[in-house]
Amino acid sequence: MNKYIAKISLLALSLTVVVSSCEFGDTNVDPALPTDVSVSALLPSGETAVSWVVGGEIVRFSGLLTQQFRGIGSTQQEDNWRYLIRDADTDGMWQRMYHNSLNTVNTVIEKAEEQNTPHYQGIAEVLMATGVGNFTDAFGSIPYSTAFEGDEGNFTPSYDEQEALYTTTLPQLLDEAIANLSADESPGGSPGNDDLIFDGNLELWIKAANSLRLRYTFQQGKRNPAAYEEALALIPSAISSNAEDYEMTFGTSATEPNPQYQFTQRRSGNMRMDDYFVSTFSENDTRRPFLVDGENGFEFSGYYTSINSPVVLMSYVEVKFIEAEAHLAKATPDVAAAKVALDEAIMASFLKITSAPVPEAYQAELDANWAAATDKLEVLINEKYIACYSQSLISWNDYRRTGYPELETVPNGVNAFNSNGEVPRRLPYPQEERLLNPNNIPTSTPNLQDRFWWDQ
């Protein structure tokens, strides 16, 4: 069997992957393709595939559940916006993350280790951590340790608990990545223009790895109060400007578009901007026309949805918001330091999106809101809700961690999978896993209100 074809249970029975017609990015796998491909040829495929899932389904679910997007027209997205998320709705993103993305990335790791190319291995380990981190934040326990054993005949992988992924797997992956990227020599070769994200700049890959380490350390704060101080210690080694953002910019041709462009422009009529998100913009916010199009405020504008828009995997803006919140949440809060970091985050957001600094009127409004707030975390998260819009699962993660922004639940949000009608706290495992891996899947019919390890 072609070693790049299904190494996980949902693909074990077919050489041709058939993706649900309600999703984009359908992929057919040709069993005649060569099985021995260089790491240089595989790396851009892995980078593109991981970015496609994060910038596509990951962003879409986060936006729908936090009322940045709204599904329309009796579509799957309308159901998802109303918290009706079926197991079949996650089949496509599961297939794309494991088969199209992490399977390729894992092959790069294995080949790079065999061929003594630590620089390629380090990049692939950062990509692996990116995919695993996003998926455990969406599903909880997920396959990892045995997920890539198809060549050994294991098509029913076990599931790693989220606690182990957070406390062991992700730190180890990223520490190993940093060590490999820091290697003085890479005898088997080093990446150059085959690296579509940083063009072979290993220092930026090290900063990306440290930034992900920061994110997943900080995210443990509800379980480990020391995580906030540990996160602050990582700030100096993280992304330190917009120019260093860990992001994938797609091409300008019809064959290589940004995933949000594919869905909001090529397949318009599925979603629009949600009224709640549009209402959060101040009249002094010059970012609005870059994100929201039209006088009615319901259409997508081009910053994240153009054919060549970036998919942001980790940003300087997020780093500064983490720094600000960590100062507020640590054992001895430092409100002044939190405000400095918040101001830097806001400035970075305006510069990134508009190429201009924060308007004086907006800064004055922010200063007044901060001074008057009894809960300064609410001000911070409300600002982050706009600044980190369309950046992976950040807004949904923040809502689950803090309860902010104060979303109103959508009408008719009660269903068999979401009995209390509140904003869901997880996604259901895919139908294909329930059918093909029933002995390992943690639960075949999860309540969408079940809380993950870090959410307790």
Supply the pLDDT for residue 30: 42
**Residue 253 pLDDT greater than 70, yes or no:** no
Residue type, 387: A
Is cis: bond before 405, omega within 30 of 0? yes
pLDDT at 7 over 80: no
For residues 65-90, give the mean pLDDT: 92
Among 48, 53, 49, 175, residue whose Cα is nearest residue 121: 175
Q: State percent of the chain over pLDDT 90.
A: 79
Does 2 fall in a domain? no
For residue 99, how far is the Cα from the chain centroid? 17
pLDDT (tens digit per residue) in 281-321: 999 999 999 999 876 557 788 899 888 899 999 999 999 99
Does residue 313 fall inside a structural domain? yes
Averaged pLDDT, 413-441: 95
The per-residue pLDDT for 267 is 63
What pTM was estimated for this model as a whole? 0.91
Q: Is residue 171 part of a domain?
A: yes
Q: Is the pLDDT of residue 29 over 80?
A: no
Q: Is residue 334 scored above 50 in pLDDT?
A: yes
Contacts 24+ apart (CB under 8 A), 43-47: 43/108, 43/120, 43/123, 43/124, 43/191, 43/194, 43/195, 44/194, 44/195, 44/196, 45/104, 46/101, 46/104, 46/105, 46/108, 46/124, 46/127, 47/127, 47/195, 47/196, 47/197, 47/248
Residue 135 CA to residue 418 CA, distance in Å, equals 20
pLDDT of 38 above 70: yes
Q: What is the pLDDT of residues 94-103, one digit of tens each?
A: 999 999 999 9
Residue range of the domain that includes 236: 37-247+275-455
pLDDT of residue 295: 63
Is 123 part of any domain?
yes
State the pLDDT at residue 270. 82
**Residue pair 259/311 in contact by the 8 Å Cβ criterion:** yes
Query: Which carries the bigger pLDDT value, residue 173 or residue 253?
Result: 173
Q: How confident is the model at residue 22 (pLDDT cuts 50, 70, 90)?
A: very low
pLDDT value of residue 11: 31
pLDDT score, position 266: 64
Domain presence at residue 435: yes
Kindly tell me the burial class for residue 163, based on how many C-beta atoms sit within 10 Å of its own C-beta (0-12, 13-18, 19 or more): middle
Amino acid identity, position 449:
Q
pLDDT digits (tens, 9 = 90+) for 211-241: 999 999 999 999 999 999 999 999 999 999 9
- Number of structural domains in the chain: 1
Instruction: Average the pLDDT over 430-454 and give the result.
Output: 91
pLDDT digits (tens, 9 = 90+) for 71-80: 888 789 999 9
Residue 371 lies in a domain: yes
In this structure, is residue 347 part of a structural domain?
yes
User: Mean pLDDT across the stretch 197-212?
Assistant: 98
Classify strands 69-71 and 271-273 as parallel, antiparallel or unpaired.
Answer: antiparallel
pLDDT at residue 171, rounded to an integer:
98
Domain with 233 in it: what CATH number? 1.25.40.390
The answer to whether residue 28 sits within a structural domain is no
